[in-house]
Structure 1
Amino acid sequence: MQYGRNDRNARGFRSALLATSLCLFATTALALDPAEMFDDPAKEARARDIGRELRCLVCQNQSIFDSNAGLARDLRVVVRERMVAGDSDAEVLEYVRSRFGDYVLLEPPVSAQTTLLWLAPIGFIALGALAMFSYLRGRPKPANPLPQLTEEETAEARRLLEETRS
């Protein structure tokens, strides 16, 4: 059986997509060291929930549980140490935030210092909408693109339509 060029391209794309997906999941799986995990599944789930709120300062858009950077490992250890010390989830997050600032939180709080970060996307969307509006408004209106048919052309078109229907 002979495959066309599009079939080979599609198979190649699917293979590349599968390989990329496997690589991404493999790096996430390697991020955790079994030695640093709690034996109690409930404590481990709580540690992971806390860790998913903390940003890896090296990888920037990964949580500390999705990163295999050394600093992320150190933060995972700190989270577990604070939990063993009896801190609540909020206390653990505040402990880490007090040392690294709001940037370590994947969802930083709205405050005077972070207002620009929260409002910037809205401002960019508004600027884009304004630019689009002014562009569309300033464009010249197209002249009548379709010329009107004369009476004879209209009659001929009707006659041709009637012929094709019969």
Structure 2
Amino acid sequence: MPQNKKEGLFFTTIVCFSMVMTMSAYNLLLHGQFSLSNLFGGLVPGFIVAFLLDVLVVSSPAKKIAFALPVNKEKKIQLIIAVSSCMVLGMVFFMSMYGVVMQFGFTKNFLSYYIGAFATNLIMALPLQLLVVGPVCRMILRKSRQRSWLKEKI
């Protein structure tokens, strides 16, 4: 877990980018629209929206909820699972909305499209975050701590 603001920003960036790229590819595959041009064409705007939502909207409430859950805060793995799960729920809530709006706009079928997208995205995003992206990004963070550029000056 990040220990200072620079580490937090670095960790948020790599997790967000990894999740946006993977979930974008997943959704494009589901809709039969996968191509590298479609993937990379939507990657930058999707990343910007996801990053802003993460930092400005989802992160603080998700962490408050996770820390309020009855988990053993002395056990780092339980805390990581709680925070990651709350973050995924919040991000899937908003990014599914973003995806539906970008693909279909606000139509009379918006709610049904959104519910379908939310369920489909949650099924992929939660295990992806808990089993792949989270562990890999935490490993990258640990290895990056050896670099002086992540250490805050006191």
Q: TM-score range by the shorter chain?
A: under 0.3
- Structure showing the higher helix proportion among its residues: 2
Q: Calculate the TM-score normalised by the size of structure 2.
A: 0.24
The higher relative CO (CA closer than 8 Å, separation ≥ 6) is in 2
